Amino acid sequence: MGASLTTQEKHNIKREIYTLYPGLEQQLEMAFSCHDVEGTLALPYATLEPVIRHLLMQYGLIEYVTPPPPCPLGSGALDPAHVRHELAEFGVATTRLFGDANLSVEDFKSLAVVWLKKILDTHADDQAEWMEKLRADQEEQSANYAKAMKEFQEQYVKQQAVYQQGLEEQQKQIQDWNRLLEDAHKTQQQIYDEEVRRMKEIQEREARASEIARQEELELIRKYQQKLEEIAKSEGGFGQANPYVCPPVVLCWVVCDVLGPEKSI
């Protein structure tokens, strides 16, 4: 409320409060009439203050009319010092609140409107402050959440990197082991192939030696037959009259020549 209010401004303020609290004006007039038993149309502040306090509590503004400070209550009553300036703007003499002078019904309604307006403005300020605090808390929570998420993501990336590295190392070990087994198998196969080749060569050598020995034996037999034929030719008719029989001396020589000295007679 400004430093000086016009009649229209005061009317607008009252209409605003009466609109927010329907029936308020009638309640104030009825309460004033109930307390004005003598019909003087004027009552002291001490009589009217509890009525206003009851209305404030009725409208759910109990936190503003209940001690401790900084609520407008001192020793349990609304302190008019909190609305001295606003009452002066409404044309209510503040001396009436602290002295023995009585308040008219219009002064009483202005007093109630001023208190409600004061408390509503304070409530709006408190709400704005609370909203600002809530916004700040939300921003702080959002920042903490973002920080926590960032730390989680960084930690997750690190853990994934460590896991991937371990997986790659394990895979490498498996590959190395497989290569080792493959090399060992190849080595064994090479040894086996080499042994087979060596045995085959031995068998081939033995076969060749056996063939050479057989050919030599055949050659000895051939020579022996040739000698027999030569002997038969050299003796002429002896061979034609009777089948040729090798003399014992010749037979012994031939057997020794064929069988060798170890098996000779």
Residue range 63-112, pLDDT digits in tens: 776 654 555 444 567 777 777 788 878 777 766 666 567 888 998 998 89
How many other CB atoms are there within 10 angstroms of residue 163's CB atom?
Answer: 10
pLDDT value at residue 100? 63
Q: 1-59: per-residue pLDDT in tens?
A: 445 678 888 888 889 999 998 999 999 999 999 998 888 898 888 888 888 888 888 88
pTM: 0.47
Parse the chain into domains and list their residue ranges: 7-144
Q: 226-249: per-residue pLDDT in tens?
A: 999 889 888 765 444 444 445 544
E strands of the chain, at which residues? Answer: none
* CA dihedral (134, 139, 143, 145) positive or negative: positive
Higher pLDDT, 133 or 140: 140
In angstroms and rounded to an integer, the radius of gyration of the C-alpha atoms of the chain is 68
**For the residues 258-265, what does the mean pLDDT come to?**
48
Q: Is the Cβ–Cβ distance between 108 and 78 less than 8 Å?
A: no
Please state, in angstroms and rounded to a whole number, the distance separating the CA atoms of residues 1 and 88: 11
